[in-house]
């Protein structure tokens, strides 16, 4: 049996090119200076109880600044997606906000998911429950969970 060297080299090259791309790690994806798209998913979107635009902007800006990431306007431009599930509700006559952050690749693969952070409105945060939840997310979610995992300090 005679082996055609050219055919062998072509077949090996095709197998090499068909190999999956190197998987991205959480540390690579969230490196300082990378581009982030912040996606906020509100269970009450489209209703009177929807997450207000000014609070949406607060979350978006604080996340990008705290991570040292460049904020972009579309997921296609981003290196990764910072996904935040949001829930707002009035509990015992006081507004309450729940934020559950996660980091996704553009294909939807979850690289990191944090616990849920709850913020209650009080005089210390200007009666904005979202500000309290953001502060907890940045201090505990980033500083005590995400940043140590990727070798960064807060």
Tell me the pLDDT tens digit for each residue of 59-96.
Answer: 899 999 999 999 999 999 999 999 999 888 887 878 88
Answer whether residue 154 is part of any domain: no
Answer whether residue 40 is part of any domain: yes
Answer whether residue 38 is part of any domain: yes
Answer whether residue 138 is part of any domain: yes
* Number of structural domains the chain divides into: 1
Smallest Cα–Cα separation from 103: which of 22, 30, 24, 21?
Answer: 30
Is 69:29 a contact under the CB 8 Å cutoff?
no
Give residue 112's pLDDT: 94
- The total of other beta-carbon atoms located within 10 Å of residue 152's CB is 16
- What global pTM score does this model have? 0.78
Answer whether residue 17 is part of any domain: no
Answer whether residue 130 is part of any domain: yes
For the chain, report the end-to-end CA distance as a whole number of angstroms: 64
% pLDDT > 90, the chain: 36
Q: Which domain holds residue 54?
A: 24-149
Answer whether residue 15 is part of any domain: no
What values do phi and psi take at 14, rounded to 5? -65, -40
Domain with residue 104: its CATH number is 3.30.160
Answer whether residue 57 is part of any domain: yes
pLDDT for residue 20 is more than 50: no
């Amino acid at each position: 049996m005679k082996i055609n060297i050219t055919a062998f080299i072509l077949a090996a090259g095709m197998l090499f090119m068909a190999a999956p791309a190197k998987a991205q790690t959480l540390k690579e994806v969230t490196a300082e200076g990378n581009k982030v798209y912040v996606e906020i998913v509100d269970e009450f979107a489209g209703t009177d109880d929807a997450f207000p635009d000014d609070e949406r902007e607060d979350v978006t800006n604080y996340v990008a600044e705290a991570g040292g990431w460049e904020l972009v306007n579309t997921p296609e431009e981003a290196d990764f997606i910072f996904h935040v599930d949001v829930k707002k509700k009035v509990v015992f006559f006081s507004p309450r906000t729940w934020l559950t952050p996660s980091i996704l690749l553009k294909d939807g693969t979850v690289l990191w998911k944090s616990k849920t952070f709850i913020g209650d409105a009080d005089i210390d945060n200007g009666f904005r429950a979202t500000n309290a939840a953001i502060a907890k997310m940045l201090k505990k979610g980033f500083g005590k969970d995400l940043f140590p995992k990727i070798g960064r300090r807060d």
